[in-house]
Amino acid sequence: MPNLTHKHSIKFDCTLRRFQIRRIYQATIQPYLFTTILLLLPLLAYGQDEATLRVIVTSEEDGNPVLGANMILKSPDEDTLHVGTSDTDGFNEFSNIKAKEYRLAISYIGYQTHREQVSLEPGETRVLNTTLSVSTEMLDEVQIRVAGGAARREAGRQTITAEELGRIPTPGPGGDLTMYLQTQPGVVTTGDRGGELHIRGGTPAQNLILVDNMPIIKPFHISNLFSAFPQATINSVDIYAGGFGAEYIGATSSVLDVTLRPGNMREYQSQVASSPYLLSFQAEGPLRQDDQSLMIMGRRSIIEHTGPVFSGQEVPLDFYDVMGRYSIQRPGISCSMTAIHTYDEGQINPYRQVTLDWTNTVAGSRCLGYSEQFDNTFDVTIGFTNYSSSEGGIDRNIRTAGMQKGFLRLDLEQDFLGLTFDYGITWELTRILADLDDPFAEVQEEAGMRFSTLAASIDEIISSLKMYATVNWKPNDYFTVEPGLAYQIKQSELSASLEPRLRVNWKPDGTERREISLAAGRYHQMMEGITDERDAGTVFYVWTATRPGEPLPRSHHGILGYRRDFGIGLEYNIEAYVKDHQSIPVSEWTREPGNTIRTAYADGFTYGADIRFEVDRYPFYALMSYGIAEVTYEAKAEDLVAWIDQPVFSYNPAHDRRHQFNFIGSYQFGGFAASVSWQYASGRPFTQ
């Protein structure tokens, strides 16, 4: 329950609070205009005296793509220089370059540098598949930092690899995404159980979590120590604490974009591991060498049985997760089919005797096409996700809620006039289900008539369309500007949103040593998760769609960051940010928390700053970070239906935390690694 002491706060409004685009304009002109722009982009052609070079980088060890490999493309006379970095698929494209002869060099720490002569003809699209061999040379000094630390860090965003996860000690074998996230300033959990993550002032329902472009609702286990993404399955994770680009639609706070790695393409391997907390099993290997692979992994908690032995008290927690992944890597195209299932059951507060459970099931396929026959690369994803949850307690009432979603997503890339256009479209068909008891039914009065707006049972189907376009403009070696526009429409109603986004990077000396970055944007959600955050004994959510005439939950982000790399394994990063959330659904303040999902609307304002120091000098690694923030909600007292004698009430929600300090240390020796993680944080605004 929030502290009811009134606090004065400064409220900034980035835009006019009451500004809304006319609904008839949203439902007619805007969709057709934006769709027309997207359809016309592929028709634009680049000059025929130019060429395109696509490079795929894989590892000699396992045949998997190499993330973060540096590529330098030079002409023999040294007057032309192009630089690139491979993505999670090991892919990089040099587009709109002059058709001539080049020298290509590809390097990555731990591998031998690959060099090759490339001759391009006018109008040609060439695909090079390159394998990096493991280096056996001992280097006195390494100047390029790719493998160490975060692969990339800029305003609101950082990219981490599996090696990063392994530096955080966990009570199980190997690293895990959940434990890593909790070491980041601005990430708050409201207790030691529940699987809830609040990122820079947002709620769990305001986060978007993707695994290989497929949405997953709640992949974090009830123990707050594990997720469905252990270190052994991850290739990389893009963490956006805010300011994310136009390609991410449907979230107002943060994005976690997880990319899984393919199974080993060259060797068979398996392992079984155990700890007092869980058991795990993993097996992978090629079905056809360098062409097809299969990876399966499963984990099961045993703390419910071992807890009483080690702690002398009951630990009512039970969870497991299973993942299977089939991958194909062919010249010109790579595909994967992935299935994930998770299960959680337990009690957050045993004294309440409220039992919670939830499951996630995600299955789908993703293909990346980059063949020489394709003028443009494409990325297509199709799949299905299902989330279900229930809450049962001493009142003998069982409440259930969930969501089912089918989706088809297409992402494309087009070069025109020296600019790179990324654009795409996603179609989603969502079914919302709930079976609630009578206290959850919401009844309102209007014009003397009573009617129910949220019945005890919910079964609703929503069709939505999401589109985006982003331009990558790099006028010189110092600036990169990425303006973007996102658009989403709920087809069953006249609900639509237009969301401009912007990211800017400035390198004052034209190198990677110093960088100033800025991110800003407007964000909307058409789905909302409702829970009573005053009840510390439950994390039961009911998902609903915004109703006709209701305001869409929305936010505005502003982030400014500075990064300095000293080139000797020392880097520091500082960021300042603001988030202005509007129309956040919060439960009415009934006398007893946890027995209603009747909602009021609150506005939230978050501001803060993070600073990080990172030392990466093999075999030693250390990261120190400090974050300061404040989260304030403001709502009309008459909407809260509370006992407050003022028209507008400001309060700090349960996930408000002022100070947070983290330290991570790791040392490797003789095939072993020792790691330590320590966190100190100030309290939160709970009352008895």
According to the model, what pLDDT value does residue 296 have? 96
pLDDT band at 42 (very low <50, low <70, confident <90, very high): very low
Percent pLDDT > 70 in the chain is 84
pLDDT band at 610 (very low <50, low <70, confident <90, very high): very high
Q: Which two tokens stand for residue 352?
A: 């309440």
CA torsion through residues 640, 644, 650, 654, sign: negative
33-37, 390-394, 455-459, 500-504, range with the lowest pLDDT? 33-37
CA 12 to chain centroid, in Å, comes to: 27
According to the model, what pLDDT value does residue 386 have? 96
Q: Residue 158 forms beta bridges with which residues?
A: 153, 239
- Among 364, 288, 379, 292, smallest CA distance to 323 is for 364
CA distances from 252 to 34, 49, 568 (A): 22, 44, 38
pLDDT band at 449 (very low <50, low <70, confident <90, very high): very low
- Asked if the model's pLDDT at residue 414 lies above 50, the reply is yes
Q: Are 604 and 633 in contact (CB under 8 A)?
A: yes
- Asked if the model's pLDDT at residue 439 lies above 70, the reply is no
Cα(546)–Cα(555) distance, integer angstroms: 15
**569/326: higher pLDDT:** 326
pLDDT band at 200 (very low <50, low <70, confident <90, very high): very high
Sheet of strand 234-240, all strands in order from the earlier edge strand to the far edge: 152-154, 157-161, 234-240, 254-260, 207-211, 214-215
**515/47: higher pLDDT:** 515
According to the model, what pLDDT value does residue 618 have? 83
pLDDT band at 214 (very low <50, low <70, confident <90, very high): very high
Cα(63)–Cα(161) distance, integer angstroms: 17
Q: Are strands 198-199 and 234-240 parallel, antiparallel or unpaired?
A: unpaired
Average pLDDT over residues 195-221: 92
Average pLDDT over residues 254-279: 92
pLDDT band at 342 (very low <50, low <70, confident <90, very high): very high
According to the model, what pLDDT value does residue 24 have? 36
According to the model, what pLDDT value does residue 569 have? 83
- Among 469, 574, 582, smallest CA distance to 523 is for 582
According to the model, what pLDDT value does residue 416 have? 76
151-155, 166-170, 221-225, 557-561, range with the lowest pLDDT? 151-155
Q: Which two tokens stand for residue 554?
A: 């929305």
Instruction: List phi, psi (to 5°) of 619.
Output: -95, 15
Average pLDDT over residues 524-546: 82
According to the model, what pLDDT value does residue 27 have? 41
According to the model, what pLDDT value does residue 273 have? 92
Cα(57)–Cα(293) distance, integer angstroms: 17
Q: Which two tokens stand for residue 260?
A: 């899984």
pLDDT band at 590 (very low <50, low <70, confident <90, very high): low
Average pLDDT over residues 571-575: 93
| Mean confidence (pLDDT) of the chain | 82
Average pLDDT over residues 543-566: 88
How open is the CA angle 127-133-134, to the nearest 5 degrees? 145
204-208, 453-457, 621-625, range with the lowest pLDDT? 453-457
Q: Following DSSP, what letter does each residue of 644-666 receive, concatenated?
A: -SSSEEEE--TT--SEEEEEEEE
Cα(35)–Cα(422) distance, integer angstroms: 14
pLDDT band at 17 (very low <50, low <70, confident <90, very high): very low
Q: Which residue has the tokens 């995404």?
A: 177
Cα(177)–Cα(87) distance, integer angstroms: 20
According to the model, what pLDDT value does residue 371 have? 80
Q: Which two tokens stand for residue 377?
A: 């690369």
- Among 137, 159, 165, 135, smallest CA distance to 146 is for 159
Cα(683)–Cα(429) distance, integer angstroms: 41
Q: Which two tokens stand for residue 489?
A: 């429409």
- Asked if the model's pLDDT at residue 434 lies above 50, the reply is yes
34-43, 297-306, 541-550, range with the lowest pLDDT? 34-43
Q: What are the tens digits of pLDDT across the range 632-680?
A: 998 888 777 767 778 888 888 888 899 999 999 999 888 788 889 999 9
According to the model, what pLDDT value does residue 388 have? 94
Q: Are 106 and 132 in contact (CB under 8 A)?
A: yes
Q: Are 467 and 34 in contact (CB under 8 A)?
A: yes
According to the model, what pLDDT value does residue 521 have? 94
- Asked if the model's pLDDT at residue 40 lies above 50, the reply is no
According to the model, what pLDDT value does residue 79 have? 65
Q: Are 270 and 284 in contact (CB under 8 A)?
A: yes
Q: Are 554 and 583 in contact (CB under 8 A)?
A: yes
According to the model, what pLDDT value does residue 493 have? 63
Instruction: List phi, psi (to 5°) of 670.
Output: 55, 40
According to the model, what pLDDT value does residue 229 have? 94
336-340, 361-365, 511-515, 517-521, range with the lowest pLDDT? 511-515
pLDDT band at 454 (very low <50, low <70, confident <90, very high): very low
According to the model, what pLDDT value does residue 176 have? 92
- Asked if the model's pLDDT at residue 7 lies above 70, the reply is no
**102/6: higher pLDDT:** 102
Average pLDDT over residues 119-148: 67
Give Cβ neighbours of residue 429 (< 8 Å, ≥ 6 apart). Answer: 405, 406, 407, 461, 462, 463
Q: Are 235 and 91 in contact (CB under 8 A)?
A: no
**497/7: higher pLDDT:** 497
According to the model, what pLDDT value does residue 545 have? 83
According to the model, what pLDDT value does residue 137 have? 54
pLDDT band at 129 (very low <50, low <70, confident <90, very high): confident
Q: Are strands 187-188 and 157-161 parallel, antiparallel or unpaired?
A: unpaired
Q: Following DSSP, what letter does each residue of 153-213 receive, concatenated?
A: EETTEEEEEHHHHTTS--SSSS-BHHHHHTTSTTEE-SSSSS---EETT--GGGEEEEETT
**396/626: higher pLDDT:** 626
**14/496: higher pLDDT:** 496
Average pLDDT over residues 42-71: 76
Average pLDDT over residues 604-622: 92
According to the model, what pLDDT value does residue 642 have? 66
Average pLDDT over residues 72-78: 80
Sheet of strand 125-132, all strands in order from the earlier edge strand to the far edge: 91-98, 50-59, 125-132
Query: Which range has highest mean pLDDT (134-138, 417-421, 485-489, 544-548)?
Result: 485-489
Q: Are 527 and 250 in contact (CB under 8 A)?
A: yes
Cα(185)–Cα(659) distance, integer angstroms: 9
pLDDT band at 22 (very low <50, low <70, confident <90, very high): very low
